[in-house]
Chains A and B, each alone.
Chain A
Amino acid sequence: MMALALGSRLAVAAGTIRSRLGLWLALTAGFTVGYYLLLMAALIVRFGALPNYATAYNWPKNVWTIFRSTPSFSDVPPIVAEEYLLEFGYMNYDYGHGISEWALNILPYKVMLVAVLAGLLAVNILLLRAKSACSTATRFKAGTATGVGAGFVALTSATMSWVVCCATPSWIVGLSMLGLGVSASFWIEPIGPYLTMGGYGLLAATALALATPPGTPATSARDQQDKISSAKGVHA
């Protein structure tokens, strides 16, 4: 019964995407590109300098090297996940022959995660638009859940590097840039994967909650009640 309900909700979500495929793709691509532009803007504002170097990496070749030279297949994904495609950063030439002080690293694996986030965000927006009859409370709840979920994933998907933290891209660089203490940042770092999963979970759950098949009695009744409550000013 539950599987059936889930299946029908997935069908509604898929149908919504199909019906507005162009818009969904545009939103997904836009959110993904916008996310990286936002990260770059944050670096520029935080450090007060424009990037002065860009490096492209041969990602397919590097991934192939990893596959060939890693005996255990289970070791491959985490190593591939750290592979760069592009790097835009700031080289400080005050000392020696230059030090890459900060950089925005484009890692295909992380781009894929951000694209999934963007896709879920886009479907939630389309579902919300389609639910114009929804009560304000339901829209608010769905919007909040989507925002929190997207925030978690966006935060933990950041791939900025700073020569501190031994210059490896980590999501806690974003926290450090926001002024969070070093110890607190490292304390938080291990919970990154859980935040990511929680974020995706919230986004997916919201999408499913919004993807109500037409004429679902329970939801319709709750929506109806919400509408009545709102009308009475309970949520005012």
Chain B
Amino acid sequence: MKHTTLGFGLGLALAVALPGMPALAKTIDIAIGHQSMCTDTYTAGIVVKEKKLLEKYLPKDGAYADVDYNITWADYSSGGPITNQMLANKLNIGVMGDYPLIVNGAKFQETDSLRTLYVAGTGYNLKGSGNAVVVPVESDIYSFDQLKGKSVSTPVGSAAWGMLLKAMQDEGITEEVSLKNQSPAVGAANIAAGKIDAHSDFCPWSEIMEFRGTGRKIYDGSEAGVPYLHGVVVRQDFAEEYPEVVTAFLKAVIEAGQWIEENPSEAVDLMEKWTGVEKEVLYIYFSNGGHLTLDPTIKDGWVDALKFDHTVLVKEKAIPPLDFDAWITEDYIKAAYSDLGLDYEADKATVVDPETANAGLPVEIWHSRDGILTYESLPDFLKAVAEFQGTGAKLNATYVYDKSTGLKLFGKTAYFVHGEDGTYETFLRKPEAEAYAAEVKGEVIDLPTAVAAFVPTE
């Protein structure tokens, strides 16, 4: 009886005293794998990291009141190693492109006890822009069918490789193209040196080559017609243990996207410092009318695209099966939207097609001193370029839109069509430009030629 009373007394004393005692702080390790050389991952990677957006949204009350967070970021040049590190539980969260995402889900489902969840997108291009095939700038190849009998390099296993395979199948030249396995950096160097006929790569490599004046796009991913998207995967055990942390991460992703959309010039300036990728190249992705639509919702069309990508991978690399229903969940991104007071279903239902969304957007000049200047018409733009050149002003870049697809292009790589009636249009690819020129009884010219007509005569 005495023992019972003593035990009850001790228990009561502990119950009273415990809430007042300082709890032992728990540390939650959050390790994120991202890719600073892959633009489409930035809203879940470098921007969240550098702007410390995850820290802003991490839960700090309730069950997390006494928690310390240990956040680490690891930068990779592709998605494959991120998956390996997630398997080893050295990363909880990974950001990668569509094909590596599928490999991630399939490799985890191949194990007995480990799984990942695809919890959100980062951004997309509806038609597949971001991947492209580039030839040396002096090459006489202007269309994809001219690659018959040529050597084309690509990082095998990447989204660009998937696009290339589909394009070759569509053109019926699968057997006639010699495929080489080359890294983005090696492919870009070989394009610069003219050592390879063509190189297929993911964002932003083709634009880097164009901006540096070494390469010229002959095929854009948009021609394959399969959406190009990136996303976030999380280890399921981590997501189930700390769902609020995953939601916090996705809130950070949403804010990163909003910040870029509201401040594209500032964003690309900072992202250049963070990643080393030229800001003029980044602008083609992140500006109004840029290649990338920053949207973390998971659309039905994206799931279909991922399923299609999986069939390509099964055929080419014999990867394991993937149960998409078990892998994809909207729960966390919906919770993030709800916490931020945003309408998930509205964003999910919105699909941006560059062809219509970019129609009528002003063309732009990036003046090194005055920043981005916009022009409503191509003649105004050409006149301005001519005047700036006359004053010796430094222009970082110029941007126009492809009439066929609505894609944003560097002015210096675009094909200008000067119509008989004096109008101008711009094109990504020469065959389309020539066809349009024939239609309007015009001529295909390059930017310097187009500008020359506007040089003021004294």
Contacts and interface: CB of A to CB of B under 8 A. Distances in A.
Interface in A181-228: 181-183, 185-186, 189-190
A74 interface: yes
A151 to B, nearest CB: 23
B89 A70 contact: yes
B112 A163 contact: no
B84 interface: yes
The residue in B76, B84, B113, B185 that gathers the most chain A C-beta atoms within 10 A of its C-beta is B185
Interface stretch (A7-15, A31-39, A89-97, A110-118): A89-97
Given A92-B185, A186-B316, A70 B114 contact: yes
B297 to A, nearest CB: 27
A163 B81 CA distance: 10
B180 interface: yes
Interface residues of A, number: 38
The residue in B36, B181, B276 that gathers the most chain A C-beta atoms within 10 A of its C-beta is B181
A230 interface: no
Given A96-B36, A97-B276, A166 B158 contact: yes
A68 B114 CA distance: 13
A234 interface: no
Interface in B155-178: 155-158, 178
A95 B100 contact: no
B89 to A, nearest CB: 4
Interface string A77-110: 0110011000000001011111111000000000
Contacts of A186: 156, 316-318
Contact of B179 (A65, A101, A167, A183): A183
A132 interface: no
B210 to A, nearest CB: 14
B179 A74 contact: no
Contacts of A168: 80-81, 84
A164 interface: yes
Contact of A167 (B75, B78, B208, B317): B78
A165 B275 contact: no
A182 B276 CA distance: 30
B37 A99 contact: yes
A75 B113 contact: yes
Interface residues of B, number: 44
Nearest to B276: A96
Contacts of B158: 166
A163 B90 contact: no
B184 interface: yes
A79 B80 CA distance: 14
Contacts of A94: 185, 188-189
Interface in A55-79: 62, 65-66, 68-72, 74-75, 78-79
B120 interface: no
B185 A82 contact: no
A109 to B, nearest CB: 13
A78 B112 CA distance: 12
B111 A72 contact: yes
A162 B78 CA distance: 11
Contacts of B89: 65-66, 68-70
B130 interface: no
B111 A75 contact: yes
A167 B114 CA distance: 22
Contacts of B298: none
A69 B277 CA distance: 37
A83 B158 CA distance: 23
A191 B37 CA distance: 33
B185 A166 contact: no
Interface in A166-181: 166-168, 176, 181
Interface string A139-171: 000000000000000000000001111111000
Given A82-B87, A94-B185, A164-B182, A190 B318 contact: yes
B117 to A, nearest CB: 16
A12 B68 CA distance: 61
B143 interface: no
B230 to A, nearest CB: 15
The residue in A101, A163, A166, A185 that gathers the most chain B C-beta atoms within 10 A of its C-beta is A166
Contact of B112 (A65, A72, A97, A181): A72
A165 B156 contact: yes
Nearest to A94: B185
Contacts of B377: none
B453 interface: no
Contacts of B81: 166-168
A65 B113 CA distance: 15
Contacts of A100: 77
Given A65-B88, A163-B78, A183-B316, A97 B36 contact: yes
The residue in B111, B188, B237 that gathers the most chain A C-beta atoms within 10 A of its C-beta is B111
A164 B103 CA distance: 15
A84 to B, nearest CB: 9
A79 B86 CA distance: 10
Interface in B1-53: 36-37
18 contacts: A62-B88, A66-B89, A68-B89, A95-B205, A95-B208, A95-B277, A96-B275, A96-B277, A97-B275, A98-B276, A99-B77, A99-B184, A163-B77, A163-B155, A167-B80, A183-B316, A186-B317, A189-B317
Given A75-B111, A167-B80, 8 more contacts: A70-B114, A75-B114, A96-B277, A97-B36, A99-B37, A167-B81, A185-B181, A186-B156
